Amino acid sequence: MTSAEDAVAPEPAARGRQRLRRPGRSRAAYAFVLPLLAIFAAFYAWPALNTVLSSGFEWGLINPWRLTEPGSWEFVGLGNYSETLGSESFWNAVVNTTIWLVFFPLLVTGVSLIVSILIWFAGRGLAPLLFRTAFILPMTISLAAVGVIWGFIYNPDPDFGLLNAVVGALDLDFEIDWGPLHLQTGQWLSDLGSLDLGFTELRLTNLSLIAPAVWAFIGFGVITFTAGLTSVDQDLIDAARVDGARLRHVIRYVLIPQLRGSLVIVAVVSVIFALRTFDIVYVLTDGGPGSDTEVLALLLFKQAFVFLDEPDAGLATTVAVLLSLVLVAGAYPYLRRLLEGTPR
Amino acid sequence: MRGPGRSRASMLALYGGLTALSLLWLVPVASAFMISVLPQEQSRDGWWSFDLSDLTFGNYERAWNEGLSDYVLNSFVITTLAVLLTVATGVLAAYAFARLRFRLKRSTYFLLITTMIVPVQIILIPMLPWFKTLGFEEGGLQYVGIVLVHTAFGAGWAIFMLSSFISEIPDEIIDAARVDGAGDWGIFRRVVLPLTVPGIVSFAIIDFVFVWNDLLLALTLLGRDYQPITVGLANLQSPNLAQQDIVAAGSIIAILPPLLLFALLNRLYVRGLFAGGLKG
C-alpha cells in the first residue's frame, strides 16, 4: 500500500505541472486485454457464431453439427426459421413470454417505485435501512431456490400451502366467469384461469410464476430508485410544500421527473429479465400443465436437450437467434446508455 | 423528516405500513425456514401452528447426507474459480480499457458489453459438442469448462464495472507515477490495483451471487457428479414431492452463502449495483 499512498500524495513539483499528455498507443495494452479476450473469443464469440451458422441446418445433439464438417447434416437455409415461425409450440411460447413481458416489468417498476418513495419519505436511520434490506434481500436468492420456496406457498393442500390456508381461513376462495375472463383460486400452479382474447387464450397460471419473480427482483428497482432519490433536492420539496402542493403533486411533478433515468433502467433491465426467464418456470411447472406456462427459453431448452432423439437442435438455435435479436432491439436504449460510458 | 412527515399520525402510519409490508416480504423465506426445522408430520399438518419443542435440525442432517453436500462443494468450487478468473482477467482488461489506447478498442468494448444483454441461450446449444472437442466433457475438467464459460459471460459486467471504477482514479495520480518512471505494468500493480480494491470486492460479490445462482448453464453442461446446488434443488424438487422437509432444508442451505456475503458486505454489494445500474 505504501506505493499507492506515495502516489496519492504526489511531489509538489509534479502536482504543479500541467497534465501530462496521454501516452500514445501502447503495446502493453494488448497484453492486458489478451487473457479476457481469448476466453471471450473461445467461449462466447465462437459458440455464438456456431449457433447462428448451425441454425441453417437440420441437426440434433446426438450427432451435433460442426463448423469443421458442415456437410454431415442437411442444409435447409432459412427452413428452420420458417418452420419455427409456423409452429404452434413457438407461438404458444411467444404468447406466454409476452404475458411475462407485459406484467413483469410493469409490476417490478410499479411496486419498487412505490416502495422506494415510501421508504424515502421515512427518512434516514435504522428503520428505513431495515425496510430497504427486507426488499433487497430476496435478490441474492437463486431463482431455483425462489421457485422451491414459492412451491411451498402455492401447495394446494390447505394444511401445508400457506396461500390456500389463508384463503380458506378468510373465506376468500372464489371462481368467477366474466365474459372472456375465467379466474379461480386454489390450483395456483395448475389452473389459475384464462382470458380469451378471441385470437388467442391467455393462461393466467403464468401470473403465478411471475409473482415469485417480481418478489425476487424488486430489490433491483429499490436500489436503483433509491440512488435516484438521493439526488432529489430537499429544498425543492419543502418549497413545494410551503406553496401548498399536495403530496401526490409533489410525487407527480417533483419526484417522478427526477427519476426518469432510473425508470428507464428498471424497465429495460426487467424487460431483459422477462425475455430470458427460465429458472422459475423450470422448477415450478416445467412449462405445464401441458404447455400452458412454456416460455421461449424453456421451449428452446426442451427442443435441444430433452427430446434428444429428434433432430430439433436446429430449431432450438433459431429460437435462440430470434430471442437474442429481440433482446438487443428491446434493450437498445439501455445499450446506448452503457456505450455512452465507452472509454476513449 | 421529509415530505408528508409533518404530522406524527401520518409518520406512524407510514412506519406501520412499511413494517407490515417488509414482514410480508419475508414470509416466503420464513415459511421455507419453518418447514426446514419441523418434522415432516408437523409441517404437513399446518406448519404455522408449530410447537417450539418440535424444532429440529434433523432435516438438514438428512439433506446433507443424501447428496446435498456434494452439490454444495461443487457450487463452491465452480463459484470460487469463476470469480477469481473473472476478476483477474477482468481487472487487467479493464485497466487497458480505462487508461490505455489500442486498436479496435471501441468495437471490442461494444462486443464485451453485449454479453450483459444477449441471453446465455445464444451459446448454449453448440456448447456441449464444443466441450467434447476440447476434452472438457468428463471428470474434473468439467469444472474448467463451466468456469471458462462463466468468465466469458461475466466479461461484460467485469469490464463495465471495473473500468468505471478505474476511470475514477484521478489522472494526476497516474501521471505522477508515470513521471516517476513507472511503466504500464508498474502503474497497474502499484497504483491502479490498490486503489481499485473496493471496486473489485463489489464486483466479486455480484459475480459470486450470479455464478452461485446459475441454473441453466450447469444443467446443460455438467454431469451428475459435478452439478451445483441449484441443479441439486431442481432435481430434488420433482421426484421427491413427498420430501418437502429435505427440499426446504436444501433451499435454505442454497440461500445461505450469498446471503451471508450480502449481510457482511451489504454496502459494497449495493454500491456495485448502483454503479452497474446508474453509471450506464
Q: What is the DSSP letter of A20?
A: P
Is A305 among the domain residues? yes
* Cross-chain Cβ contact B125/A320 below 8 Å: yes
Smallest Cβ distance to A148: which of B164, B247, B266? B247
Cell triple for B115: 454479453
Burial state string for A303-318 with b = 16 or more CB within 10 A and e = fewer than 16: bbbeeeeebbbbbbbb
Which distant-in-sequence residues (6+ apart) come within 8 Å of A111 by Cβ? A214, A218, A221
Report the DSSP beta bridge partners of residue A25. Answer: B101
Q: What is the DSSP letter of A25?
A: B
Same domain, B195 and B80: yes
**ipTM at complex level:** 0.87
Smallest Cβ distance to B100: which of A15, A29, A134? A29
What are the C-alpha distances in Å from A120 to residues A105, A243, B62? 22, 21, 44
Is B202 among the domain residues? yes
Length of chain A: 344
Residue B47 to chain A, least CA–CA distance (Å) = 7
B125: containing domain? 66-278
Question: How many domains does one find in chain B?
Answer: 2
Is A199 among the domain residues? yes
**Which chain B residues touch A32 with a CB distance below 8 Å?**
92-93, 95-96, 100, 184, 188
Question: What residues of chain A score a pLDDT lower than 50?
Answer: 1-21, 344
Same domain, B173 and B233: yes
Same domain, B42 and B133: no
31-50 in B: which are within 8 Å (CB) of A? 31-32, 35, 43-48
Tell me how many residue pairs between chain A and chain B have CB atoms under 8 A apart. 370
Kindly report, residue by residue over A295-313, the tens digit of the pLDDT: 999 999 998 888 777 778 8
Is B61 among the domain residues? no
**Which chain B residues touch A50 with a CB distance below 8 Å?**
126, 130
What pLDDT sits at residue A321?
Answer: 93
A169: containing domain? 83-96+122-221+274-332
* Cross-chain Cβ contact A43/B148 below 8 Å: yes
Same domain, B152 and B43: no
**Which chain B residues touch A122 with a CB distance below 8 Å?**
5, 11, 14-15, 18
Closest CA to A122 of B3, B265, B209, B28: B3
Same domain, B125 and B78: yes
Nearest CA in chain A to B260: A140
Same domain, B167 and B232: yes
Is A200 among the domain residues? yes
pLDDT averaged over 10-residue windows placed end to end, chain B, 280 residues: 61 91 93 88 79 82 86 94 96 92 87 86 88 84 93 91 88 87 88 90 89 92 91 76 82 91 78 54
Residue B3 to chain A, least CA–CA distance (Å) = 6
**Which chain B residues touch A301 with a CB distance below 8 Å?**
124, 216, 220
A160 close contact with B: CB closer than 8 A = yes
Question: How many domains does one find in chain A?
Answer: 1
Is A311 among the domain residues? yes
**Which chain A residues touch B270 with a CB distance below 8 Å?**
136, 223
* Cross-chain Cβ contact A305/B19 below 8 Å: no
Q: Compute the distance between CA of residue B195 and CA of residue B84 in angstroms, rounded to an integer.
A: 18
What pLDDT sits at residue B119?
Answer: 86
Which distant-in-sequence residues (6+ apart) come within 8 Å of A58 by Cβ? A73, A74, A76, A79, A80, A311, A314
Is B27 among the domain residues? yes
